[in-house]
Amino acid sequence: MGNVHVFDHPLIQHKLTYIRDVSTGTKEFRELVDEVATLMAFEITRHLQLQEVTVETPVGPSKSHALAGKKLGVVPILRAGIGMSDGILKLIPAAKVGHVGMYRDPKTLKPVEYYVKLPSDVEEREFIVVDPMLATGGSAVDAISSLKQRGATNIKLMCLIAAPEGVEEVQKQHPEVDIYLAALDEKLDEKGYIVPGLGDAGDRLFGTK
């Protein structure tokens, strides 16, 4: 079963509080989501392999370490995932970026896929699928299935806020996928919104509705 990691770093928790706050406007909301994504990327990249390299300092040779060149891919689930991808790329600028377009039908709450574009060397990459919200889990489950159908084997899921129902669904359908969160909330309401959550992530990021 994949692990669930909730990042309890004080900066992540502080910024998440203001992301949740209904009085936070679009500009600040977007900036905070971007900052939290960067902080989460710092945590999620802890396992990356290093190799020994020697560089010349002004004083002499230094046996140091550099990343061993792991191939990473960041895959935001459109739309709201886009709010997190730049923040991640600040730390891992060489990562390739794929996109999966998915919206939740407001009546059935089932995800509808409308776009997929991934890097060509899917089999060789470690992917981080990103979306601020993991609610029923339908969107994340289908996005991960979409990557797997195209050959991806190494996938992590990173979300700001999850409901227990969404975590359970991802673990059921994709038991090998580790899930990284800033918060695990209480429940879903009757419309499939996370309680207390932050509202509609896409609308708050892009100023729609």
158 annotated binding-site participant: no
Q: Scan for tokens 């998440």, then name that residue.
A: 16
- The answer to whether residue 132 forms part of the interface with ligand PRP (CB under 6 A) is yes
**Nearest approach, Cβ of residue 133 and ligand URA (Å):** 4
Single-letter amino acid, residue 136: T
Per-residue CA distances from 150 to 94, 156, 170 (Å): 21, 16, 18
Of ligand URA, ligand PRP, none, which one does residue 9 interact with (CB within 5 to 8 Å by kind)? none
Stretch touching ligand PRP by CB under 6 A, among 31-39, 59-67, 118-126, 133-141: 133-141
Of ligand PRP, ligand URA, none, which one does residue 138 interact with (CB within 5 to 8 Å by kind)? ligand PRP
SS3 content of the chain, % helix, strand, coil (to 5): 35, 30, 35
**Chosen residue from 49, 197, 207, 208 binding ligand URA by CB under 6 A:** 197
What is the SS3 assignment for 60-123? CEEEEEEECCCCEEEEEEECCCHHHHHHHHCCCCCCEECEEEEEECCCCCCEEEEEEECCCCHH
Residues 53-72 that bind ligand URA (CB under 6 A): none
Closest to ligand PRP by CB, 35 vs 165, is: 165
**Nearest approach, Cβ of residue 197 and ligand URA (Å):** 4
